[in-house]
């Protein structure tokens, strides 16, 4: 268990998390900026409640959570000393790829054909124009993640012995609050109950299958090892985020800033991505929609994750996570 800061730096008056006392089962908690936590099983008289259960009745529960956050009764626990788990156990995870302009351009530069006659500067200029065209004429690129890859915001991340090029990818994750299907872009954000932090780790060496190149990318292998999606610490209600398209994402590796970008750099907005996913899939309460990662990944810098590395990730108003990489040990 990692030590947790005794205060929660969050936007608004409260956030949601999943926490536990030593040797006790996890509980859904109401977290306030003063660094206090309320066990919602007791406060809502709801035995067996989980954080996902809150989102299954979000419209009913939200006004009660607002009232509880303003209450000064004695049932509050100090955050210090509690274990912070992933804030939610999602049923479905949808992940947008290549959704930040700078990131998409730099990745295209890395993987461009060796016989490309353009200079790097010419190719980069052409690609920026292409990103603007994509935003208008095309659709987001989305794939599926596994809930078993989710881990807590302070848990160690085990680097599998088969992962040759493990890399980080800080992302803003939207949390769905109502079941829905085939949303328009205009109404999509009405179904986003809150936001949280995700680090979508990727083994760069496993993205493309050399044995079956016609099939393309292998997202199962490169992104879904246990613990490859550190999540949280908190879910901040969407009503507390003034503009989700104007949030700062920062990831530090061993104290050095690697990613530092705004959600303004997204090619497709959060609403566009949520709407796009809903055209095919039924979105369920508590589902996660990851919205892509900005430039600054390790592959761009010639740096890969190693045993002992520490990643610290923040997104404005959503708190911070800190995870340590641990090499897989022989069993």
In this prediction, residue 41 carries a pLDDT of: 97
Write down the pTM of the prediction. 0.95
Cα within 13 Å of Cα(80), Cβ side: 4
Asked whether the predicted pLDDT for residue 13 surpasses 60, the reply is: yes
**Above 50 in pLDDT, residue 2?**
no
Q: Determine contact, residues 191/176, Cβ cutoff 8 Å.
A: yes
152 pLDDT higher than 90 = yes
For the residues 130-149, what does the mean pLDDT come to?
Answer: 95
Burial of 211 (0-12, 13-18, 19+ CB in 10 A): exposed
User: In which band, very low, low, confident or very high, does the pLDDT at 119 lie, cut at 50, 70 and 90?
Assistant: confident
Question: What local confidence, expressed as pLDDT, does residue 5 receive?
Answer: 53
The residues, ordered by sequence, that sit 6+ positions from 74 with a Cβ below 8 Å of its Cβ are: none
pLDDT digits (tens, 9 = 90+) for 37-50: 999 999 999 999 99
Instruction: State mean pLDDT over 229-237.
Output: 98
Domains of the chain: 15-85 (no CATH), 93-327 (3.90.850.10)
Please give the mean pLDDT across all residues of the chain: 94
What average pLDDT does range 165-180 have in this prediction? 98
CA–CA gap between residue 291 and residue 95 (Å, rounded): 6
3-state secondary structure string, the chain? CCCCCCCCCCCCCCEEEEEECCCCCCEEEEEECCCEEEEHHHHCCCCCCCHHHHHHCHHHHHHHHHHHHCCCCCCCEECCCCEEECCCCCCCEEEEECCEHHHHHHHHHHHCCCCCCCCHHHHHHHHHHHHHHHHHHCCCEEEEECHHHEECCCCCEEECCCCCCEECCEEEEEEECCCECCCCHHHHHHHEEEEEEEECCEEHHHCECCCCCCCCECHHHHHCCCCCEEECCCEEEHHHCCCCCCCEEEEEECCEEEEEEEHHHECCCHHHHHHHHHHHCCECCCCEEECCCCCCCHHHHCCCCCCCCEEEEEECCCCEEEEEEEECCCC
Segment 163-187 shows an average pLDDT of 98
196-217: average pLDDT: 92
Report pLDDT for 104.
85
For residue 73, pLDDT beyond 80: no
CA proximity to 77, closest of 17, 132, 131: 17
């Amino acid at each position: 268990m990692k030590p947790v800061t005794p205060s929660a730096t969050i936007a608004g008056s409260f956030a949601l998390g999943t926490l536990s006392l030593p040797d006790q089962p996890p509980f859904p908690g109401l977290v306030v900026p003063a660094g206090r936590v309320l066990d919602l099983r007791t406060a809502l008289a709801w035995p067996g409640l989980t954080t996902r259960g809150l989102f299954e009745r979000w419209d009913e529960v939200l006004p009660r959570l607002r009232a509880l956050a303003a209450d000064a009764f004695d049932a509050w626990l100090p955050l210090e000393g509690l274990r912070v788990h992933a804030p939610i156990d999602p049923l479905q995870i949808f992940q947008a790829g290549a959704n930040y302009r700078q990131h998409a351009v730099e990745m295209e530069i890395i993987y461009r054909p060796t016989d490309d006659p353009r200079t790097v500067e010419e190719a980069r200029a052409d690609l920026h124009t292409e990103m603007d065209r994509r935003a208008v004429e095309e659709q987001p690129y989305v794939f599926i993640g596994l809930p078993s890859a989710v881990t807590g915001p302070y848990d160690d991340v085990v680097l599998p012995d088969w992962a040759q090029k493990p890399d980080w990818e800080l992302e803003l994750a939207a949390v769905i609050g109502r079941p829905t299907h085939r949303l328009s872009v205009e109404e999509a954000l009405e179904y986003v109950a809150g936001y949280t932090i995700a680090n979508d780790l990727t083994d760069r060496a496993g993205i493309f299958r050399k044995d079956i190149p016609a099939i393309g990318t292998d997202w199962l292998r490169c992104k879904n090892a246990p613990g490859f999606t550190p999540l949280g610490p908190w879910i901040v209600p969407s009503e507390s985020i003034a503009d989700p398209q104007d949030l700062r994402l920062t990831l530090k590796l061993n104290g050095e800033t690697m990613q530092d970008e705004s959600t303004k750099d997204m090619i497709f907005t959060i609403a566009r991505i949520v709407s796009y996913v809903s055209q095919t899939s039924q979105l369920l309460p508590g589902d996660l929609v990851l919205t892509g990662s900005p430039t600054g990944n390790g592959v761009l810098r010639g740096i890969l994750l190693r045993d002992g590395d520490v990643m610290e990730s923040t997104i404005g108003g959503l708190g911070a996570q800190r995870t340590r990489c641990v090499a897989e040990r022989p069993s």
